[in-house]
Structure 1
Amino acid sequence: MFSYYGVKLLSFLICLLPHNTAMALGAGLARMAWNFVPTKRKLLAKEQIIRCLGTSEAEAESIARASSLRFGPMLMEVLRFPVMRTRMEDYVSITGALDEVRAAVAAGRGAIFATSHSGNWELMGGAFACAGLPIVGVAKKQSAAGMDRFINEYRALVGMHITYHTGVREMFRMIDAGWIIGLISDQDPALRDGVIIDFFGQRTNAFTGAAAIARRCDVPIFPVFIHREADGHHVLTVEKGLMVEKTDDRAADIRRMTQTINTRIEEWVRRYPEEWFWLHDRWKSLRNDNEKGVL
């Protein structure tokens, strides 16, 4: 459990610093950490950027580096949750269809937030919770028990309820009770758990959770995204709600909505490419099956 108490101590110390000093420290640590990112991973990110955005090699390298360096300030913001939570509006502004979300919650319907690994998604969940929305964050269990305990404790500190991605029954119960389920929808799942859609003009295996749950529970999906401005302030955008069309072909309904969600994600990534997690091997499952001659 040393990792838990070690990070708690680090959080305590970071909370003593002025906010801008903590952000500068995070940026400096990220610049040093970039030197230790494996060359193979850097090359993967650069190749994905060129393939998706059609950039030059120099521009792709710059985007890949910026995408990685943002994790320094992101970490500092999570460590500073104890001091940020009392005045979250100083750090994050929420724009867009927030009234539509509140209306869905007031009606007891619940909803889905579909987002991506763009910007500080941990801060996004905290901002929504601090704004009074009943948010359920769906998390992947960390391999280190101490770190898993820490991050879930801090998510709860800002008002989120956390369930693991395996807790599907709990998600259904909570959405039926009027909660909003937050789902990061840009991962590369196992082929048996995904559906093939178009993403940046490429065949891509996509996570179907948002569409499948929304269809079953008959609730809206709100694409949500967060962007860090040049001064460090964040703008959280809530797009208008989407309803899954229900026909006799459940699989086709889910595929159409999954495509729509990923189109929204692609549009956002094209707008702010430096803020997406390009180091993630987004096309791994399809590439592996192509190498095996399955697809």
Structure 2
Amino acid sequence: MSTDTQPRKPWKLRLRDGFLSAGVWLVARLLRLQSPQFSAWVGSFWARAIGPFTPIHKAALKNLALAYPEKTEAERREIARGMWDNLGRMAGEFVHLDRIWQYNMWEPAKSRIETTGVSNFVAMRIDGKPALVFTAHLANWELPAIAAAAQGLDSAVLFRAPDNTFFADLLFGARSQVMGNLVAASHVAVFELAAVLDQGKHLGILVDQARKGGPIAQFFGQPCTTNPTIARLARLYECPVHGVRVIRLPEGRFRIHCTPALNLPRDAKGKIDVDGSMQMITSVVEDWVREHPEQWTWFYRRWRI
């Protein structure tokens, strides 16, 4: 007798997922034949055409109204259109993850990537210590993990797999070719993350989504929950915490910036304060988003309490 307790999806949903998977596979194969810039343009075109008519566009506008009450509705809609442009470009670039990294520090004009804060990255690579690195859903957020692997940083990445097995396999297959170790988010992931740090590796975590029951922080002047995993690991291992951001530039180029290690707040016993650290990290992400709001994913339920 089967011990599988997972409910089976209704046939209509399975049929929908099957057609969707087949369509994505075909589009990905066709885009793979094109250049990353052309694929990004195709993704942008369709995202800008379809995105504003979806329910998640309304969620994005609602969040923008919370974050930017001082802006006009027209200004917020313009940011949302920029969001769809960025998401479409990222989708088009995804099929080229193994080609998108073009970096030459000696001849920047020939590079797709430009970097700032390189000394902070080099320090991480040569100090012999584990480190925690946070980033956010900005521009093409796959690039920090690709950069770490390409530049020889022994690293692992925490990721959340989609429910659709086709998409989960597609994402894992593409990422595993160009990134370090991949750790799927689960109830046992914390043990894998601890093992990564025990081995002296560097761990990358996206920190800009809500976490039920997590510490409350202020984000754009509104309370939101945060995922305290990175702060708890920093408290446990006393390892440095850096931020890495990506900025999308014209003509298919990107800028990657690595911050110095944050001076995280501590409690009366001298241990890293988890709640205070999550506020500091959230404030850093807010500054990033404010600089390029059109490059962030505004439809997440970020202010869910």
Tell me which interval the TM-score lies in, with the shorter structure as reference length. 0.7 to 0.9
Q: What secondary structure, in the 3-state scheme, does the structure 2 residue paired with 1:121 have?
A: coil
Matched, 1:45 2:55: no
* Alpha-carbon distance between aligned partners in 1 of 2:125 and 2:198, rounded to the nearest angstrom: 11
Q: What secondary structure, in the 3-state scheme, does the structure 1 residue paired with 2:250 have?
A: coil
Task: Quote the residue 2:40 is aligned against.
Answer: 23
CA offsets 1:72-101 (integer angstroms, 9 cap, x no match):
11011111123335x3553222211x3333
- Do 2:44 and 2:84's aligned partners in 1 also have CA atoms closer than 8 Å? no
* Alignment partner of 1:95 out of 116, 124, 147: 116
Aligned residues between the structures: 279
- Do 2:235 and 2:272's aligned partners in 1 also have CA atoms closer than 8 Å? no
* Alpha-carbon distance between aligned partners in 2 of 1:260 and 1:95, rounded to the nearest angstrom: 21
Letter in 2 for 1:92: I
Range 261-270 or range 16-25, more displaced:
16-25
Matched, 1:173 2:190: no
Q: CA offset at residue 245 of structure 1?
A: 4.6
Task: Quote the residue 2:248 is aligned against.
Answer: 228
Task: Quote the residue 1:289 is aligned against.
Answer: none
- Do 1:95 and 1:236's aligned partners in 2 also have CA atoms closer than 8 Å? yes
Letter in 1 for 2:61: K
Task: Quote the residue 2:74 is aligned against.
Answer: 58
Q: What secondary structure, in the 3-state scheme, does the structure 2 residue paired with 1:82 have?
A: coil
1:120/1:235 Cα in 2 relative to 1: closer, same or farther (>3 Å)? same
1:4/1:127 Cα in 2 relative to 1: closer, same or farther (>3 Å)? farther
Task: Quote the residue 2:274 is aligned against.
Answer: 254
Letter in 2 for 1:78: F
Q: What secondary structure, in the 3-state scheme, does the structure 1 residue paired with 2:298 have?
A: coil
Q: CA offset at residue 106 of structure 1?
A: 2.4
* Alpha-carbon distance between aligned partners in 2 of 1:45 and 1:227, rounded to the nearest angstrom: 20
- Do 1:197 and 1:258's aligned partners in 2 also have CA atoms closer than 8 Å? yes
Q: What secondary structure, in the 3-state scheme, does the structure 1 residue paired with 2:99 have?
A: helix
* Alpha-carbon distance between aligned partners in 2 of 1:26 and 1:184, rounded to the nearest angstrom: 23
* Alignment partner of 1:184 out of 179, 182, 206: 206
CA offsets 1:123-178 (integer angstroms, 9 cap, x no match):
33212321222221111122011211111111111132100122111111111212
Letter in 2 for 1:262: T
1:220/1:5 Cα in 2 relative to 1: closer, same or farther (>3 Å)? farther
- Do 1:4 and 1:146's aligned partners in 2 also have CA atoms closer than 8 Å? yes
Structure having the higher helix fraction is 1
CA offsets 1:198-234 (integer angstroms, 9 cap, x no match):
2111222111111111111111111111010122211
- Do 2:120 and 2:258's aligned partners in 1 also have CA atoms closer than 8 Å? no
Range 2-11 or range 173-182, more displaced:
2-11
- Do 2:235 and 2:271's aligned partners in 1 also have CA atoms closer than 8 Å? no
* Alignment partner of 2:300 out of 262, 268, 280: 280
1:178/1:105 Cα in 2 relative to 1: closer, same or farther (>3 Å)? farther
* Alignment partner of 2:154 out of 97, 120, 134: 134
The RMSD of aligned alpha carbons is: 2.4
TM-score under structure 2 normalisation? 0.83
- Do 2:137 and 2:296's aligned partners in 1 also have CA atoms closer than 8 Å? yes
Alignment of 1:141-152 (within 5 A): 141-152=161-172
* Alpha-carbon distance between aligned partners in 2 of 1:198 and 1:136, rounded to the nearest angstrom: 28
The answer for unaligned runs of 5 or more in structure 1 is 287-295
Q: CA offset at residue 249 of structure 1?
A: 5.9
* Alignment partner of 1:33 out of 50, 69, 75: 50
Q: CA offset at residue 6 of structure 1?
A: 6.2
Q: CA offset at residue 266 of structure 1?
A: 0.7
* Alignment partner of 1:11 out of 28, 31, 35: 28
* Alignment partner of 1:111 out of 131, 135, 160: 131
* Alpha-carbon distance between aligned partners in 1 of 2:241 and 2:302, rounded to the nearest angstrom: 23
- Do 1:105 and 1:179's aligned partners in 2 also have CA atoms closer than 8 Å? no
1:65/1:102 Cα in 2 relative to 1: closer, same or farther (>3 Å)? same
Q: What secondary structure, in the 3-state scheme, does the structure 1 residue paired with 2:203 have?
A: strand
Matched, 1:270 2:290: yes
1:57/1:156 Cα in 2 relative to 1: closer, same or farther (>3 Å)? same
1:208/1:281 Cα in 2 relative to 1: closer, same or farther (>3 Å)? same
1:165/1:176 Cα in 2 relative to 1: closer, same or farther (>3 Å)? same
